[in-house]
Structure formats: structure tokens, C-alpha cells
Amino acid sequence: MKITIISNVSGNTWPGSEEVWYRMALKALDKGQDVTACLHTNIHEGEPLKLFREKGGRLLEWSRGKIVRWENFRQKWIPNFSDKKLGNPDLILLSAGSLPALGYVPGLFQYLQKTNIPIAVLCLFNAEALAFSAAERAKIQWLLKRAEKSIFVCDENRRLASRQFAVDLSAAENIQNPIREFFDEPLHMPEVDGNLIFACVARMETIWKGQDLLVEVLASPKWRARNWKLKLFGLGPDLEHVRNIVQMHALNNKISFEGYAKDMRDIWRTSHVMVLPSRGEGTPLAILEAMMCARPVLTTDVGGNCEVLNDGVSGWLVDAATPKLLDRGLERVWSDRGRLREMGLEAHKKAKEIASADTSSQLLEALLSVNKSSIR
């Protein structure tokens, strides 16, 4: 089977959302399938794709309407899509950072309206506050009806998309994000003998990840008087903005910027609690990895967070990303300081359960089933 993946995700670092199709693609290549990935130029290069190439995966690049194929040399194509340029695949998987953002890929919808190749849609993110025009809604509505299969990383986002685009998605599949590493034994929890160490691991994009909100809450007189530290991991367009907020509140002595960490264990060896005050989500890989490292998580009840986190057992759920509600959640963490090890062990148990489901194989089987039922 020839599978072509088109991802609309862009940015200067490899985002965790790309792991969904990427892990599936590696498994497909191991099983002898033919896989091509068409990615935005900014994430086209880098270490994560090295193994994909070594296993025989082919890469295309989209940028300003151009597709570039990487073989023995770089060859630029005319700025549009076609079956031939995509390798005449048996199936196209559209990996959507968000569904409306598929329209940001130049020429994609014009191509999809012409091709007869079966399409599967993988939705990685959604939010109540996601903005789109009537024209964008109509495009996504058409696409979801056109697709042979729709796949979501959590059930909440499936229900939300059904309402947003007025499409019955009751037959859509839910397949959770894969966890990159499996640790049979939980990572040791450091003692809380001085500061309580919070870590926020997320792309610096405050509109969705909420680092601005977290800093605002911790800037209150009540929290200033307490012994805590916050480590902010991640890069992104709002990095300088978050630095400015920290400086504005004179919290440089309590909040540090740690950049990008390749090994999740380097984060959690010295940190106690994951905090992610998201305004919208899929099922964040950063949360699953913190849980795999036996760390409890404080996060908002958006996307698939409530599907992986047991409130009061493996972490704490906040109803919405507001200063008042986040402060209440942080108070619960503060009160539960003596239970962090116990809660971390529960988080580790749940992460192992999710990892054992082999979601990469589930996604591959879902795609292969499309091919079997769509003989062209």
C-alpha cells in the first residue's frame, strides 16, 4: 500500500503532534508499506525524520505553494498538488494540527476536490475558541463528508468538531497519541524539602498553552510568599512575550526558561508537578510523558485531558483556563504536597496502560481498512 501523509503543522521545532503520524509511518515502513510525507519546510529537516529516511520513507516539502521532493538531489515542482507528484498513493492521510488550518496549505483543497484517491483525516487539536470563517467551515464540512475515515486523538474533540461543522462523526475513530518512550519503573520523585518545583512543558504559544495565565496567577502576593520554582520548557513565537511578562512581575528569581529538552527524564528528575493551563488541546504528548515519568499533572479540562487524567488521583483538573480557577487548582496541588509520590505512581500506571495499547498500530490498521474498502 502507498500512503501519502500531508501535515499542515508548521513551526521551527518538531511538535509533539507530529508523533502521531510519524510513529505510524515507521511501523508501516517496517511492514513493507510505501510511505511519503509532505511537510512544511520549517519542520522538514532535523533529527526526528532521520529514521524515517533511513527506513525508506520519502519526503516532500510544501512552502508558498511549492512541493519539493528529496531524492538524490532537490527538485522543485510546479506550485500545486497532483496524484503524480504525491507518488500516486492508494491513500492520503491529512494530519491536521487543527481542521481549519488545512486551508493554510496552498492548493490543497483545490487538489482534494479533483482527486479520486481515498482520504483519511486525522484531527490532532480542537478548541471551543477556534476561529474560522463561514467559507472555512464549508470547506471542512465538505472534507469531513468526503473523507473515507475521520480519526481524532480524543472523543471530546470529535464531539466538538461535529458541532462546529455540522457533520455526523459518530462513526469516527478515537486513537490516542503514542508515547515516545516506555519506562517500566517509575522515575524517582525528589523530596519536597525546599521549593515545590513546577514544570510547564509546551510550545511557547500562549493563546493555546496558557503560560501567560500561569505567570499571572503565580505573581499574586499569596504565591510570592511561598517556596516554589517554575521551569518553563519549550520554544515558540511567544517566548519573548512570556519573558517580558515574567520580568514585568519581577519573578526572574522564581521562574526560569529552560529551552527545549530532548530527554523527558532530564526534566522530571528535578521537578515535582507538570502544569499545563491550556485553552485548547488534543491529548498533549507532554502530559503523557510526564505521567510516564511518574509525575502528577495539573491541567485544564480541555481536549483529551480528562480521558487520561483521574482528578484527585493522578493529578488535578481545572474546569477552564481562567486566573480564578487555575489558582484553585494550584491550591489543591499545594495542599497535596505530601501525596505527590503516591499520585505520581498512579499517573505512571495510567501512562503504561496507554502505551501498551500500541496506538501506532491502531492508526495503521485504520488506514489499511480504508484501502481495503475503497477499491479504485
pLDDT (tens digit per residue) in 188-217 = 999 988 899 999 999 999 999 999 999 999
Q: How many beta carbons lie within 10 A of that of residue 222, not counting itself?
A: 12
Quickly state the pLDDT bin for 163 (edges 50, 70, 90). Answer: very high
Residue pLDDT, tens place only, 276-289: 999 999 999 999 99
Q: Which of 46-50, 59-63, 174-178, 199-203 has the highest mean pLDDT?
A: 199-203
User: What CA–CA distance (Å, rounded) separates 41 from 52?
Assistant: 16
**What is the pLDDT at residue 64?**
56
Quickly state the pLDDT bin for 74 (edges 50, 70, 90). Answer: very low
Range 50-70 average pLDDT: 77
pLDDT exceeds 50 at position 375: no
The sheet that has 196-201: what strands, in order across it? 255-259, 228-233, 196-201, 273-276, 297-300, 315-318
Least confident of 46-60, 105-119, 328-342: 46-60
**What is the pLDDT at residue 62?**
83
Quickly state the pLDDT bin for 70 (edges 50, 70, 90). Answer: very low
pLDDT exceeds 50 at position 302: yes
Least confident of 9-18, 249-258, 345-354: 9-18
Range 352-368 average pLDDT: 92
pLDDT exceeds 50 at position 40: yes
**What is the pLDDT at residue 165?**
97
113 against 63, higher pLDDT:
113
Strand blocks (E) in the chain: 2-7, 34-40, 58-63, 66-70, 74-76, 91-96, 119-123, 149-152, 173-174, 196-201, 228-233, 255-259, 273-276, 297-300, 315-318
DSSP line for 83-139: TTTTT--SEEEEEESSSGGGGGSTTHHHHHTT--S-EEEEE--B-TT----HHHHHH
| CA distances for 212 relative to 18, 160, 180, 261, angstroms | 25, 25, 28, 21
The overall average pLDDT reported for the chain is: 91
pLDDT exceeds 60 at position 122: yes
Cell readout for 171 is 462513526
| CA distances for 141 relative to 88, 203, 312, angstroms | 25, 29, 38
44 against 183, higher pLDDT:
183
Q: What is the dihedral of CA 241, 247, 250, 252, to 10 degrees?
A: 100
Share of the chain above pLDDT 70, in %: 92
Q: What is the DSSP letter of 48?
A: G
DSSP line for 51-66: HHHHTT-EEEEEETTE
Quickly state the pLDDT bin for 76 (edges 50, 70, 90). Answer: very low
**What is the pLDDT at residue 68?**
52
Cell readout for 59 is 519526503
Half-sphere exposure of 334 (CA within 13 A, CB side): 15
pLDDT exceeds 60 at position 71: no
Query: Containing H/E element for 265?
Result: helix 264-268
Range 298-308 average pLDDT: 96
**What is the pLDDT at residue 207?**
95
Contacts of 322 (CB under 8 A, 6+ apart): 213
Q: How many helices (H) and strands (E) does the chain have?
A: 15, 15
User: What CA–CA distance (Å, rounded) separates 135 from 165?
Assistant: 11
* Alpha carbon distance, N-terminus to C-terminus of the chain: 13
Burial 92-115 (b: 16+ CB within 10 A, else e): bbbbbbbbbbbbebbbbbebbeee
| CA distances for 16 relative to 196, 204, 236, angstroms | 27, 13, 13
Cell readout for 269 is 528528575
Contacts of 20 (CB under 8 A, 6+ apart): 95, 122, 124, 153, 175, 177, 178, 359, 363
Range 236-252 average pLDDT: 97
3-state SS class at 317: strand
In contact, 9 and 15? CB cutoff 8 Å: yes
pLDDT exceeds 90 at position 109: yes
Quickly state the pLDDT bin for 6 (edges 50, 70, 90). Answer: very high
Quickly state the pLDDT bin for 12 (edges 50, 70, 90). Answer: low
Q: How many beta carbons lie within 10 A of that of residue 157, not counting itself?
A: 28
List for the chain the helix, strand, coil content (%; round to 5): 40, 20, 40
Query: Domains plus CATH for the chain?
Result: 2-176+358-373 (3.40.50.2000), 196-356 (3.40.50.2000)
